[in-house]
Structure 1
């Protein structure tokens, strides 16, 4: 495995300085507090900084840094708490159609499932043989490849001490789910070679569907719905299944991935496809029984979903699996599936041989579940709860005509443009900042994966306030540019290991497991007295973000979406392309369509103030040139200076257009890293580091913080007085602008 062996060359993720983390934490929370709350927060931060416990906890993390490849290993870091009223936290990608769909040759469900499964297995074999090319940034910096090993044979497991991950790196079979019937199929031999052709796989899948469609009562085995249940119910049900169906659960857990043969026929619209791929369809028959595909899922593992209309997508578990690796996996299998149509034997995985057709190959084996009445009741209640959640959530999509080229012309990064615009749209609708996070990849470091960047900040809040005010276009433009610059700098800091979210969670986790750490390093004894700040209500909003927004996608993807972190929040996935950005917004009892309309309005306003600013610059420049001509001595020759402004004039006034606009669009496969959506960094139990000691942790960090849901009534944690900020003369009521224009649909654009 060369890609893994070379991981030792990468630098370790450093432990941030305690003062730096506290400064960033204070800045993130300041935007959500009023003046009195801010003073209390600063006092608590100073108290924690001065107390001896903070230095002891930091010493334990430094010790882990010295001993481990990543100091976050062996710590259970549930980045965002599980809200029992929210949909399962499983991001998803919807693939573009297979090229055959646009020709006269129709492609059925089994055919596309066979092709994509074949390409997925090639990816697995290439990874295990060590032939998978390494990921790198555009500047050539190498990224750790270890997260790829969490894609296959991996499952998340709910336990008393929190969510853990199990991985079987030698798994050789897939799990097939069709109408809640479960089958296993061996697909790889011991030499990491494929056993079936794509046509043979398609034939097998047709047989599986034919058999499953004739099951009299498929709901009796719809056990997958329990993986969508609340943490407490999910954990209890799994314990029962682990006891009574140990072999079946072992097969499910160790399968390479889940192939879902979804029997739905969604309409060919973005919103319907997003709903179907992410959570399946709903259909209650005349007897009140759920017959939709929403119960034919297994949310603890990565799932390749293919609908009856041959639309395909990938769903993954955000706790155990990494978004950048899933994106490359999905892109590669789509690209490989397209290469089969070329004139020649081309493949994205040339070292993986295609097997010859033949007999005596593995066949699917059906898993039998004979549940008792109490488990059937449990499954039924899980299904009704899931159906309620699906009914209460809405999915809205939009393609807005602002993409990379638009951002380049304005001199800002496209992701910063989108994230700041989302904050402005939210503020324009609700008049206050909210807790928001954006996942950021930290794969520049050994065995590292992600950091959640807290976006709320006084700089961005000020930009929101100024933007919706009656201030001048120039001031609005300056505030917008400053917000984009802040976002870019914060993003780069987080990607290079200078974030604070992981460090904060690590400090909390060390204290929770103090009995274990006190035995590991008795010289750094952690007292039982609870430290200030770490578990205070003041930091609670960071763990229940009202908005989570992320970019993930490339030309092979049609849609990217993610569910909200909390029941009254927004989950916003977007794919930035050259001239458009495709949005998928999921929410519960919120105005998703109005939010996207407001976002469109924000982009239009940004375009307008940018043009006004450019016009003012042009007038100032022309005035300066006119003055220079009038005062310059007469001469037969003119010498062009080397100043940037003069060069701009020499280009005829079009110098602000990005030169890259003139280049041809690349048609090659994209392996550009995108923000990570996964939230767990370790598959190893800390207590196994030394078998001679250690007690079972009675109460995990996730359970400790989960109490906050009841205490806070599932609120987002934002202060009701969050609209006012020190140092700004504007608050939600001082912002004077025409609210009738906010969110107004725009039928025409003047961006040409």
Structure 2
């Protein structure tokens, strides 16, 4: 109702005595305070722009340079070697007239000092960029650090000694290099070998050789030209062609979810959980806006990761188009959009220039929960438009949501900081069927009822009737680690910092003069209602086909794995290969997501986890070979997997390079049988690890029940599995498995059981001889903790 207050801030009537003005000082005060908040944010952004613009130096260093230059001049020395005199000679004539000779000299010295200072900043930034381009440290064996790497670490620490802002490193991060085409093709053929027959491998080798000698080098030249011009030669095409140009539903196919604590629900009061969760998210947004978050780094090191994905975290929505969607981002938003029982609301979260307290937001949410009004015609299932195919949604949006009350209401959703669903169901691991309830909880977060989420928003928060929470995130603007960082902060702030009273309510007081949340108004014609039904049918069929299974693996965790000197991620990935082999009787093309955020605007790269080495180990174990032989093969497979992961992180991956070559070929209008075949291969096993990035927020020793469930995603292939996992603490790994009911060969529960058995069998093999297992190399990240 804030705009209503502003609309009646002043009224006037014409009387026989003249014009009678009636001012609403309360409303004018709200306008004034809102303006003050806006100007404070502008000043803060300008200050941050200056600070990060001169990093790794500081703005105050300019003063030291000026003092140093003036001091040397005072001592009758010219540190500029005549440049100050040259600058003085070229000053405008008006300054020669208005300033004395000494004043002209001082001004020239200031100009020279500023130029010298800027030159030093550019030199420092160039040095930092060179240092961040060095990646050999990742490939060095544990305990055998080269002198080059030791010197590199020292220099990097010196240049990173100042406390950086969130985006301070952005201009110093190196650009993603374009790998030599010969290397990429060689790595591809090696990755494809275990999946092909001898005849098939020979045919693919011939195709690769023909591609390299004919079309490949031509496409490579164009790609190198783009790499010289663009900040990142992959990311813009990846965002557009993989995500935004998809015309099918983004629900299940693209969006992913994050879950609440496994064992704990901080409060059973729905409005209170919403109050703390919304507050925590807005506090995180404030940190992002002020750049107060520490830059993400490679765990245990001082090496920064690109923070560009944080820029569109809030106030962002994906709008549909005929050929491609568009990501729209607004600088700020003072409200969130809320959905409850078929009705949409706009909830203002700022009042009198301040953020509402958690207790006040709870009060506002409770007003929505208590609102007895019914949905308007066509309103209840309107969100299904975002869950179905993109083209019909685009057509409806252009025809019926481009003006009038529909546009105003749609703007309130799309411009909101984020979307909140107050679900009318209970979820979580509860009752007599905890396993089934966890699966239903995952499905609810992935797609809900197909109309009670707004899948176009950058992320939507779901607060269930029993206080359980979760989120659904749109994928095009960022990858899971960025959202996981946000969700970790939200859960920890909610439970450990904001907290609740003894009766489960938020802390703080309530300003009773707060305006009511604004109910959004709609005028939904029959044509839109018909399309809503069509989109809902498409989305419902997709949702019904998803088979989700979530299970905590408690037999062992990171602690026991690392005692054997084994990479936890490598062990899990090899375990997935063993589980798939047992489940389907063979191997498949396997996708593991790796990040390329060591480079500016980096996103992801594919680790092809199914290797010759992992297949050899699986065959040996299933063939009943001796334990020593199995352990030797496992070590080879583990080392191979770690090397593949490192190469993917450092820009020497396979799939993004081939993808970009394919895009260039399409722009040139030429066909490549090799690229067409490679990019059409199905990923029947798609996997991803959800990283735990802020363990300092969770005190698992004193609060062992506050364990995160992580999150998951839908299956990528119709006849495949999607597997997400999170390594929590030292003794647990949580798995999320998805597949499709329509495929008779897949079953998420069966595959989950195979994963558990495979991990236990591998641990039995490795534990049989601690001497051989201790010689295994640690993963890149544990190595870095020792190194940096």
TM score, norm. by length of structure 1: 0.71
Residue number among 151, 156, 164 corresponding to 2:318 in the alignment: 156
Correspondence 1:314 to 2:471:
yes
Q: Which range moved further: 218-227 or 305-314?
A: 218-227
Task: Identify the residue that residue 228 of structure 2 maps to in structure 1.
Answer: 66
Q: 1:472 to 1:233 in 2, by over 3 A?
A: farther
Q: Deviations over 1:423-456 (max 9, x none)?
A: 1100112112112211112111112122232222
Task: Identify the residue that residue 254 of structure 2 maps to in structure 1.
Answer: 89
Q: Take 1:97 and 1:402, find their aligned partners in 2: how far apart are those partners? A: 17
For the 8 Å contact 1:467–1:479, the answer to whether it is kept is no
For the 8 Å contact 2:235–2:602, the answer to whether it is kept is no
Structure 1 residue 151, shift from structure 2 partner: 1.3
Q: Take 1:241 and 1:563, find their aligned partners in 2: how far apart are those partners? A: 32
Task: Identify the residue that residue 537 of structure 1 maps to in structure 2.
Answer: 677
Specify the SS of the correspondent of 2:166. helix
Residue number among 338, 341, 363 corresponding to 1:203 in the alignment: 363
Q: Take 1:214 and 1:343, find their aligned partners in 2: how far apart are those partners? A: 30
Task: Identify the residue that residue 612 of structure 1 maps to in structure 2.
Answer: 768
For the 8 Å contact 2:558–2:731, the answer to whether it is kept is yes
For the 8 Å contact 1:275–1:281, the answer to whether it is kept is no
Residue number among 535, 547, 568 corresponding to 2:685 in the alignment: 547
Alignment size in residue pairs: 582
Residue number among 754, 778, 785 corresponding to 1:598 in the alignment: 754
Q: Take 2:473 and 2:762, find their aligned partners in 1: how far apart are those partners? A: 35
For the 8 Å contact 1:241–1:249, the answer to whether it is kept is no
For the 8 Å contact 1:196–1:361, the answer to whether it is kept is no
Task: Identify the residue that residue 337 of structure 2 maps to in structure 1.
Answer: 175
Q: Deviations over 1:100-136 (max 9, x none)?
A: 74xxxx5410101001100110111111112122211
For the 8 Å contact 1:82–1:231, the answer to whether it is kept is yes
Q: Take 2:393 and 2:683, find their aligned partners in 1: how far apart are those partners? A: 23
Task: Identify the residue that residue 626 of structure 2 maps to in structure 1.
Answer: 472
1:1-20 aligned within 5 A: 1=48, 2-20=165-183
Q: 1:157 to 1:508 in 2, by over 3 A?
A: farther
Correspondence 1:565 to 2:716:
yes
For the 8 Å contact 2:321–2:390, the answer to whether it is kept is no
Structure 1 residue 571, shift from structure 2 partner: 1.5
Correspondence 1:493 to 2:633:
no
Task: Identify the residue that residue 224 of structure 1 maps to in structure 2.
Answer: 383
For the 8 Å contact 1:114–1:199, the answer to whether it is kept is yes
Structure 1 residue 238, shift from structure 2 partner: 4.5
Task: Identify the residue that residue 297 of structure 2 maps to in structure 1.
Answer: 136
Q: Take 2:264 and 2:202, find their aligned partners in 1: how far apart are those partners? A: 60
Q: Take 1:140 and 1:242, find their aligned partners in 2: how far apart are those partners? A: 48
TM score, norm. by length of structure 2: 0.68
Q: Take 2:718 and 2:273, find their aligned partners in 1: how far apart are those partners? A: 35
Specify the SS of the correspondent of 2:177. coil
Structure 1 residue 84, shift from structure 2 partner: 6.3
Task: Identify the residue that residue 586 of structure 1 maps to in structure 2.
Answer: 738
Q: Take 2:543 and 2:581, find their aligned partners in 1: how far apart are those partners? A: 27
Task: Identify the residue that residue 438 of structure 1 maps to in structure 2.
Answer: 592
For the 8 Å contact 1:569–1:587, the answer to whether it is kept is yes
Task: Identify the residue that residue 187 of structure 1 maps to in structure 2.
Answer: 349
Structure 1 residue 146, shift from structure 2 partner: 1.4
Structure 1 residue 367, shift from structure 2 partner: 2.2
Task: Identify the residue that residue 115 of structure 1 maps to in structure 2.
Answer: 276
Correspondence 1:574 to 2:725:
yes
Q: 1:187 to 1:220 in 2, by over 3 A?
A: closer
Q: 1:76 to 1:342 in 2, by over 3 A?
A: closer
Q: Take 2:277 and 2:252, find their aligned partners in 1: how far apart are those partners? A: 27
Q: 1:466 to 1:386 in 2, by over 3 A?
A: same
Task: Identify the residue that residue 50 of structure 1 maps to in structure 2.
Answer: 213
Specify the SS of the correspondent of 1:47. helix
Q: Take 1:100 and 1:395, find their aligned partners in 2: how far apart are those partners? A: 22
Task: Identify the residue that residue 526 of structure 2 maps to in structure 1.
Answer: 373
Q: 1:194 to 1:99 in 2, by over 3 A?
A: farther
Q: 1:156 to 1:38 in 2, by over 3 A?
A: farther
Q: Deviations over 1:713-741 (max 9, x none)?
A: xxxxxxxxxxxxxxxxxxxxxxxxxxxxx
Task: Identify the residue that residue 303 of structure 1 maps to in structure 2.
Answer: 460
Q: 1:233 to 1:312 in 2, by over 3 A?
A: same
Q: Take 1:271 and 1:141, find their aligned partners in 2: how far apart are those partners? A: 42
Residue number among 174, 190, 215 corresponding to 2:374 in the alignment: 215
Q: Take 2:467 and 2:302, find their aligned partners in 1: how far apart are those partners? A: 37
1:144-543 aligned within 5 A: 144-188=306-350, 194-211=354-371, 214-215=373-374, 220-240=379-399, 242-243=401-402, 245-266=406-427, 268=430, 269=434, 271-276=436-441, 278-279=443-444, 293-301=449-457, 302-340=459-497, 357-358=510-511, 361=514, 363-400=516-553, 401-512=555-666, 514=667, 526=668, 528-534=669-675, 536-541=676-681
Structure 1 residue 399, shift from structure 2 partner: 2.2
Q: Take 1:323 and 1:8, find their aligned partners in 2: how far apart are those partners? A: 23
Structure 1 residue 310, shift from structure 2 partner: 0.4
Specify the SS of the correspondent of 1:259. strand
For the 8 Å contact 1:110–1:202, the answer to whether it is kept is yes
Specify the SS of the correspondent of 1:358. coil
Specify the SS of the correspondent of 1:159. coil
Q: Which range moved further: 120-129 or 446-455?
A: 446-455
Specify the SS of the correspondent of 1:260. strand
Q: Take 2:187 and 2:303, find their aligned partners in 1: how far apart are those partners? A: 26
Structure 1 residue 416, shift from structure 2 partner: 0.9
Q: Take 1:22 and 1:189, find their aligned partners in 2: how far apart are those partners? A: 59
Q: Take 1:560 and 1:413, find their aligned partners in 2: how far apart are those partners? A: 22
Structure 1 residue 360, shift from structure 2 partner: 5.2
Q: Unpaired runs of 5+ in structure 2?
A: 1-47, 49-164, 502-506, 693-697, 699-706, 779-784
Q: 1:592 to 1:486 in 2, by over 3 A?
A: same
Q: Deviations over 1:510-563 (max 9, x none)?
A: 333x3xxxxxxxxxxx4x3323422x234311xx41122112154652242211
Q: Take 1:657 and 1:488, find their aligned partners in 2: how far apart are those partners? A: 11
Specify the SS of the correspondent of 2:471. strand
For the 8 Å contact 2:422–2:465, the answer to whether it is kept is yes
Q: CA RMSD in A?
A: 3.3
Q: 1:219 to 1:585 in 2, by over 3 A?
A: farther
Q: 1:365 to 1:61 in 2, by over 3 A?
A: farther
Residue number among 190, 202, 206 corresponding to 1:39 in the alignment: 202
Q: Take 1:43 and 1:547, find their aligned partners in 2: how far apart are those partners? A: 27
Q: Mark the structure with the bigger radius of gyration.
A: 2
Q: Unpaired runs of 5+ in structure 1?
A: 283-291, 345-353, 515-525, 619-654, 660-671, 673-752
| More relative contact order, 1 or 2 (CA 8 Å, 6+ apart) | 1
Q: Take 1:114 and 1:38, find their aligned partners in 2: how far apart are those partners? A: 58
For the 8 Å contact 2:317–2:414, the answer to whether it is kept is yes
For the 8 Å contact 1:12–1:69, the answer to whether it is kept is yes
Q: 1:18 to 1:466 in 2, by over 3 A?
A: same
Q: 1:29 to 1:171 in 2, by over 3 A?
A: farther
Structure 1 residue 375, shift from structure 2 partner: 1.8
